[in-house]
Chains A and B, each alone.
Chain A
């Protein structure tokens, strides 16, 4: 046990090793209840019944440990708790809670394992269980992998139910009646004679009792879940009153901005700060890792003065100078020595009969670029450090900052905030570390640091560029064999490396949504090659599936065309997973599919399976005088039970449109070791005039409950490329498509 614990703490097993290790060691520790982190900082007069429920004189505060990056996480977590606890979601307060292992995410670790989510066999189920064990053991307090709803669905309802029954037990003891004689309503326990005792009144007594376990309510009895919900943040976000990190004001606060070497990691040799220091409102120019910070009494003054600093940058480099050299490195990596995985290898693709077809595909580096630029506020004193920032990795940030300040983790207090978008960006933390470095040089002064858009755009950790080599054969009007090789940097290696953690095992992300695409062919192989580390890469909305959906469904479409078959019919013949067939049939129905059209109008189809969600899309385009126009987008997905139909639609459609915007127009390229893009004029995404009419259907008929933030993305780009082929005869094998095609 002890040794495995050490190993597990040191190494995130991103591959199959986790399965064996996890099952063997975890069960005992896993069954132990987690400590309640709210006990440590309990305000006077407040009581806590479990890590999710805090009650004081003002009422109930629900702890919503998953970060809200715009996907509505706080709102849905609130409704999940409220449904069992019997409090009106509109009247209760929420808090992201402290950074704590108690809020481990049991679903996200399973996403890193090579277990196809459609595989319900014993090995796969055991492995997924092990993910939960590992996450709890490591205290993996993290938001990602479209896991918020799957992870919270049972946990938060159970927390609500247990708190409700424990409050009833406290009331029962006070009144001398049996708990079963009591009921609850709108934040109060109601006695048979109609006496109302509020939760606030009962909280302190309830906190002394052993938590009562309670069965979950039948979905048929739900009041809020399953129906369109009003997001709890919707009024604030529609009236400009919602507060993001950059809107916080603290007494005595200084505004700051940071500029680092445009070649990330190459360092600062010296700087001339004279002109900057003479400017109005400027308080200081301070060194930080890889660059400098300007402190002023206004963010614009800090940014203006930062342009007046004359830095001499270091010249060390950690990766190739140009995008072309990087493509070469990807091509060179497709060798046995760099082979990372071959999770799918059926039959013998090299001996498959039929007419061969070969095509290579490319996907570029992409930046997350959420609209809110990175920012953080840090106040440092020798006794404690406080951090206000929007993050998906609170415990990592707490520990990283403790490492910088030399304090113990429990002296570092993270106040998590909602974020103005993320798409994976808030899994990074370099700007928080920079702010901590500044704050240490100004003890006692709150430092609110905001990156300029230019600093943000040029210092991203990127969606990896990826190169795919596709091969296959067609025979007698059918697709016979399929062989896809994908070369990319490892996101797991890069991202965990930045947290000081080595990553072991193959990286499933390199081949995600390709190896486990639910297609059955007699000869089928998917191989991942790991390109040696270079540019820092990161989880970008739908991670590996964001490029592999395009690779897989483009190659499949080319083969189907070569076979002379129908793109929907032939896919249905090959797909072995019933829910995936069902979303494809549904979308064909929604679009009244009758083939790919042609002659200036085209329809393309694609179906992907990512994060446990099958998603099929049909896109219709037409050729106009101004260029290619996106007319319609139909999307069908199976996310399991639909808790909020409006938000599910927003997330699926948002994922697809986000994917299309980047597929059409965005890339990060390198010259002279640095990104060439600097702002939204040269890194754009979809604008309203480009948005097709969108129709979404979430089936909600079968299967486990799943998150919707990411699965809408992977099928969008290939559906568009396939539609463009149908309309124009031009096969687009490289994103962004605007490099080869004019769009209206």
Chain B
């Protein structure tokens, strides 16, 4: 199969039923996306497939054949931050941080689809992403900050 991850094309000989999450983590060594549940309940594994947020634990390698994937590590880097990452840093959102790759990818996708979401739309879009540390108030604040930064 062929897949492009964070701009780099790869050719792999792997099982069609391997979830994209494990293809990324264990075959390509891209560890930004996290394993939290494996059953679409936590969102820690969220990446962008052709620009939209998906749970990488639910997409198989077969389905991802030919796709363009962006992970948290391709969204932005410590040297060149994505505006959502910048907002996340300024709001000091992360506690343990384990959910935050997924939270940031979900928020970035939301803002592509809907650059000016209402509070309810933010809540709805983000409710598939579990934060066991309950950093939620700062997640809300960071999304609002990112919206303002984008709008400015």
Please determine whether A299 and B134 come into contact, CB atoms closer than 8 angstroms. Answer: no
Please determine whether A654 and B133 come into contact, CB atoms closer than 8 angstroms. Answer: yes
CB nearest to A249 among chain B residues: B29
Please determine whether A243 and B123 come into contact, CB atoms closer than 8 angstroms. Answer: no
- B111: interface (CB < 8 Å): no
CB nearest to B84 among chain A residues: A238
Please determine whether B96 and A238 come into contact, CB atoms closer than 8 angstroms. Answer: no
Interface stretch among A312-320, A605-613, A688-696? A688-696
What is the minimal beta-carbon distance from A687 to any residue of chain B, in angstroms? 4
Q: A420 to B78: give the CA distance in the assembly, Å.
A: 20
Please determine whether A421 and B35 come into contact, CB atoms closer than 8 angstroms. Answer: no
Contact with B along A216-246 (1 / 0, CB 8 A): 0000000000001011011111111111101
B32 surroundings in chain A (CB, below 8 A):
239-241
Please determine whether A685 and B38 come into contact, CB atoms closer than 8 angstroms. Answer: no
- B76: interface (CB < 8 Å): yes
- A391: interface (CB < 8 Å): no
Please determine whether A685 and B130 come into contact, CB atoms closer than 8 angstroms. Answer: yes
CB nearest to B27 among chain A residues: A298
What is the minimal beta-carbon distance from B146 to any residue of chain A, in angstroms? 12
- A544: interface (CB < 8 Å): no
What is the minimal beta-carbon distance from B125 to any residue of chain A, in angstroms? 9
B63 surroundings in chain A (CB, below 8 A):
none
Which interface class (under 10, 10 to 19, 20 to 34, 35 or more) fits B?
Answer: 35 or more
Query: Given that A237-B94, A240-B32, A240-B71 are known contacts, is A300 also in contact with B100, CB under 8 Å in the complex?
Result: no
A369 surroundings in chain B (CB, below 8 A):
132
Q: A246 to B34: give the CA distance in the assembly, Å.
A: 9
Q: A271 to B108: give the CA distance in the assembly, Å.
A: 47
What is the minimal beta-carbon distance from B101 to any residue of chain A, in angstroms? 4
Q: A280 to B26: give the CA distance in the assembly, Å.
A: 14
Q: Which of B22, B37, B127 contacts A687 (CB 8 A)?
A: B127
B134 surroundings in chain A (CB, below 8 A):
653-654, 657-658, 661, 685-686, 691
* Between-chain CB contacts (< 8 Å), 13 pairs: A238-B85, A238-B88, A239-B85, A240-B32, A240-B101, A242-B97, A244-B98, A298-B27, A299-B35, A372-B96, A420-B96, A679-B38, A680-B39
What is the minimal beta-carbon distance from B121 to any residue of chain A, in angstroms? 11
Q: A650 to B100: give the CA distance in the assembly, Å.
A: 15
Please determine whether B100 and A421 come into contact, CB atoms closer than 8 angstroms. Answer: no
Please determine whether B92 and A646 come into contact, CB atoms closer than 8 angstroms. Answer: yes
Q: Chain B residues in contact with chain A, CB under 8 A?
A: 15, 18-19, 21-22, 25-27, 29, 31-39, 41-42, 44, 71-73, 75-78, 81, 85, 88-89, 92-101, 104, 122-124, 126-127, 129-140
- A647: interface (CB < 8 Å): yes
12 more A-B residue pairs beyond the given contacts A418-B96, A420-B98, A679-B41, with a C-beta to C-beta distance below 8 A: A72-B95, A236-B97, A238-B89, A240-B71, A240-B73, A298-B22, A371-B44, A646-B92, A650-B92, A653-B137, A680-B130, A689-B123
Q: A237 to B35: give the CA distance in the assembly, Å.
A: 15
Across chains A and B, which 7 residue pairs bring their CB atoms closest together, nearest first? A70-B96, A240-B32, A420-B98, A240-B72, A237-B97, A300-B22, A657-B134
Q: Which of A241, A246, A422, A661 contacts B35 (CB 8 A)?
A: A246
Please determine whether A233 and B78 come into contact, CB atoms closer than 8 angstroms. Answer: no
A228 surroundings in chain B (CB, below 8 A):
92
Q: Which of B26, B71, B96 contacts A370 (CB 8 A)?
A: B96
Q: A512 to B76: give the CA distance in the assembly, Å.
A: 46
Query: Given that A654-B133, A680-B42 are known contacts, is A233 also in contact with B76, CB under 8 Å in the complex?
Result: no
Please determine whether B38 and A452 come into contact, CB atoms closer than 8 angstroms. Answer: yes
CB nearest to A687 among chain B residues: B127
A298 surroundings in chain B (CB, below 8 A):
18, 22, 26-27
Q: A240 to B85: give the CA distance in the assembly, Å.
A: 10
Q: Chain A residues in contact with chain B, CB under 8 A?
A: 69-72, 228, 230-231, 233-244, 246-247, 249, 255, 280, 297-301, 369-373, 418-423, 450, 452-453, 646-647, 650-651, 653-654, 657-658, 661, 679-681, 684-689, 691, 693-694
Please determine whether A299 and B85 come into contact, CB atoms closer than 8 angstroms. Answer: no
Query: Given that A679-B39, A680-B37, A687-B127 are known contacts, is A372 also in contact with B22, CB under 8 Å in the complex?
Result: no
What is the minimal beta-carbon distance from B38 to any residue of chain A, in angstroms? 6
Q: A419 to B18: give the CA distance in the assembly, Å.
A: 27
Please determine whether A691 and B136 come into contact, CB atoms closer than 8 angstroms. Answer: yes
Q: Which of A233, A420, A654 contacts B135 (CB 8 A)?
A: A654
Q: A180 to B19: give the CA distance in the assembly, Å.
A: 64
Please determine whether A234 and B95 come into contact, CB atoms closer than 8 angstroms. Answer: no
A236 surroundings in chain B (CB, below 8 A):
78, 97
CB nearest to B72 among chain A residues: A240
Q: A732 to B96: give the CA distance in the assembly, Å.
A: 32
What is the minimal beta-carbon distance from A464 to any residue of chain B, in angstroms? 20
Please determine whether B98 and A421 come into contact, CB atoms closer than 8 angstroms. Answer: yes
CB nearest to A680 among chain B residues: B41
Please determine whether A233 and B133 come into contact, CB atoms closer than 8 angstroms. Answer: no
What is the minimal beta-carbon distance from A96 to any residue of chain B, in angstroms? 15
Q: A418 to B97: give the CA distance in the assembly, Å.
A: 10
B88 surroundings in chain A (CB, below 8 A):
238
What is the minimal beta-carbon distance from A229 to any residue of chain B, in angstroms? 9
B75 surroundings in chain A (CB, below 8 A):
240
Q: A235 to B76: give the CA distance in the assembly, Å.
A: 11
A69 surroundings in chain B (CB, below 8 A):
96
Query: Given that A653-B134, A688-B140 are known contacts, is A238 also in contact with B104, CB under 8 Å in the complex?
Result: yes
Q: Which of A231, A299, A421, A452 contacts B133 (CB 8 A)?
A: A421
Q: A235 to B22: give the CA distance in the assembly, Å.
A: 24
Please determine whether A371 and B42 come into contact, CB atoms closer than 8 angstroms. Answer: yes
B95 surroundings in chain A (CB, below 8 A):
70-72, 421, 650-651, 654
Q: Which of B76, B126, B138 contacts A650 (CB 8 A)?
A: B138
A450 surroundings in chain B (CB, below 8 A):
35
Please determine whether B36 and A419 come into contact, CB atoms closer than 8 angstroms. Answer: no
CB nearest to A228 among chain B residues: B92
What is the minimal beta-carbon distance from A672 to any residue of chain B, in angstroms? 22
B138 surroundings in chain A (CB, below 8 A):
650
B78 surroundings in chain A (CB, below 8 A):
235-236, 239, 241
Query: Given that A240-B72, A453-B36 are known contacts, is A423 also in contact with B31, CB under 8 Å in the complex?
Result: no
What is the minimal beta-carbon distance from B93 to any residue of chain A, in angstroms? 7
Indicate the member of B85, B96, B136 with the most A CB atoms within 10 Å: B96
A651 surroundings in chain B (CB, below 8 A):
95
Q: A240 to B77: give the CA distance in the assembly, Å.
A: 9
Please determine whether A231 and B94 come into contact, CB atoms closer than 8 angstroms. Answer: yes
A421 surroundings in chain B (CB, below 8 A):
95-96, 98, 132-133
Please determine whether A679 and B37 come into contact, CB atoms closer than 8 angstroms. Answer: yes
CB nearest to B22 among chain A residues: A300
CB nearest to B21 among chain A residues: A300
